[in-house]
Amino acid sequence: MIKTFKYRLYPTKKQVQKLNWTLDKCRVLYNSCLLDKKNRYEQTGKGLSRIDQQVILKNDKDRFDFLNDIHSQVLQDVLFRVDKAFQSFFRRVKAKKRAGYPRFKSEGRYDSITYPQKPAFQIAEQGLKLSKIGSIKIKLHRSIVGKPKTCVIKKQNGKWYACFSVEYINQPLPHSDKVVGIDVGLENFAILSNQEKIKNPRFFKIDQNALAKAQRKLSKQTKSSPKRKKAKKVVIRIHERIVNRRHNFIHQEARKIVNNFGVICIEKLNVKDMMSNQIKVFGHKLNRSIADAAWSQFAQQLFFKAEDAGRKIIAINPKGTSQRCSQCGTIVKKDLSVRWHDCPVCNVHLHRDLNASYNILRLGTQSLGFSIEAPSYL
């Protein structure tokens, strides 16, 4: 399996200058390759292949000395990125989807470089050794499991990170006979079919006032002034804090579920369509709350961790799971404002999300070839 480990880097001022210089020169090369492909196609009706551009790059090294100050593998990766951008563009065109033509990278929009293989990068006691840059201090907060294949140096919100893609053999967790159905929501982040509730932390709502205040202060500053740059850093930091807290929460909750259950059944939600449909409850739009909940990230982490741990996980169509009675199967119509399920046939009374989790569990286990009865509340 392939896994990525991300670590914080602490470069010196001189190394920061070198890294920023490298990013900018790679951006220039990216734009140059993009322009060459565009011009060749307009002149001849045929594009340049990556191999053709590798030959051009080899000749350019004799003309432009700065290219020799960047490791050859890093330069080669720039050509791969250009080629990948065009492949994605033509794939979307062929599928008749909305396809944006590859764009030029403006200043500050090229934020990572890649070392595809060793010995261009090495982890040593002195830090992370990068060819043409030097040894950078790195915070290895956890050990790397597996064999590092590539190293990506990324600039994110003014901070530097090293991302290592490693190839490793996963070690499945001990077998578990426990099964669970999971229904996600906004009142609670998720309700499990064992009646366990995961509270919705609402990270964006907690920092919403602080963010609004920082954004108002930013809007009052003169463009390109030092005060505006300082105010912008505050806004970026608040967004970063929200993302980090949400990311940590999702990882922890997904890990708990994967550790405890052998079979996991979740609902397959199209979050993008839900947000575009402007769902309302009591006249209030739920777009911001849905985005804050990050259900798609939660499902993604569940699938990744379940595969790594050797667990079974299945996503089922959620249509009707909240309306159908988990005890007798009767369809009980109700809108989103009704939070409790009351069946007129079997007289069962339970929370609508818990009722949905039972239905998700039933449908998931049936698709896997066995059935399970929901707990009786009669």
What are the tens digits of pLDDT across the range 245-254?
999 999 999 9
293 and 362 co-located in one domain: yes
56 and 184 co-located in one domain: no
On whether residue 237 sits in a domain, the answer given is yes
**C-alpha to C-alpha distance for 294 and 362, rounded to whole angstroms:** 25
pLDDT of residue 126: 84
CA distances to 77, 116, 141, 147, 335 from 5, rounded to whole Å, are 20, 15, 10, 11, 43
Q: Which of 264-268, 282-286, 307-311 has the lowest mean pLDDT?
A: 282-286
* Cβ pair 157, 236 in contact under 8 A: yes
On whether residue 110 sits in a domain, the answer given is yes
Higher pLDDT: 6 or 224? It is 6
197 and 329 co-located in one domain: yes
On whether residue 35 sits in a domain, the answer given is yes
And the tokens for 293? 């909940």
232 and 152 co-located in one domain: no
- How confident is residue 371, by pLDDT bands cut at 50, 70 and 90? low
**C-alpha to C-alpha distance for 313 and 268, rounded to whole angstroms:** 12
153 and 248 co-located in one domain: no
Shortest CA distance to 239 belongs to which of 218, 220, 224?
Answer: 218
112 and 202 co-located in one domain: no
119 and 19 co-located in one domain: yes
Which of residues 137, 167, 197 is at a domain's end?
Answer: 167
* Cβ pair 115, 131 in contact under 8 A: yes
**C-alpha to C-alpha distance for 239 and 224, rounded to whole angstroms:** 21
Task: Give burial (CB, 10 Å; 0-12/13-18/19+) of 36.
Answer: middle
pLDDT of residue 282: 45
pLDDT at residue 76 greater than cutoff 90: yes
For residues 346, 348, 351 and 352, what is the CA-based torsion angle, rounded to 10 degrees?
A: 0
29 and 149 co-located in one domain: yes
Shortest CA distance to 279 belongs to which of 346, 337, 199?
Answer: 337
pLDDT at residue 234 greater than cutoff 90: yes
Which of residues 141, 167, 193 is at a domain's end?
Answer: 167
On whether residue 374 sits in a domain, the answer given is no
On whether residue 375 sits in a domain, the answer given is no
**C-alpha to C-alpha distance for 296 and 1, rounded to whole angstroms:** 22
**C-alpha to C-alpha distance for 339 and 351, rounded to whole angstroms:** 6
Q: What is the pLDDT of residues 17-32, one digit of tens each?
A: 999 999 999 999 999 9
Average pLDDT over residues 137-157: 92
Higher pLDDT: 279 or 225? It is 225
On whether residue 377 sits in a domain, the answer given is no
144 and 197 co-located in one domain: no
250 and 325 co-located in one domain: yes
Which of residues 147, 167, 187 is at a domain's end?
Answer: 167
123 and 226 co-located in one domain: no
Task: Give burial (CB, 10 Å; 0-12/13-18/19+) of 75.
Answer: buried
pLDDT over 70, % of the chain: 94
On whether residue 372 sits in a domain, the answer given is no
Q: State the total domains in the chain.
A: 2
**C-alpha to C-alpha distance for 35 and 48, rounded to whole angstroms:** 10
- How confident is residue 334, by pLDDT bands cut at 50, 70 and 90? confident
DSSP H or E segment with residue 43: helix 13-44
DSSP character at residue 270: -
259 and 357 co-located in one domain: yes
* Cβ pair 153, 112 in contact under 8 A: yes
Q: What is the pLDDT of residues 237-272, one digit of tens each?
A: 999 999 999 999 999 999 999 999 999 999 988 777
Note down the domain range covering 70.
2-167
DSSP H or E segment with residue 72: helix 72-94
On whether residue 253 sits in a domain, the answer given is yes
261's torsion region: left (phi>0), alpha (psi -120 to 50) or beta?
A: beta
Average model confidence (pLDDT) for the chain?
89
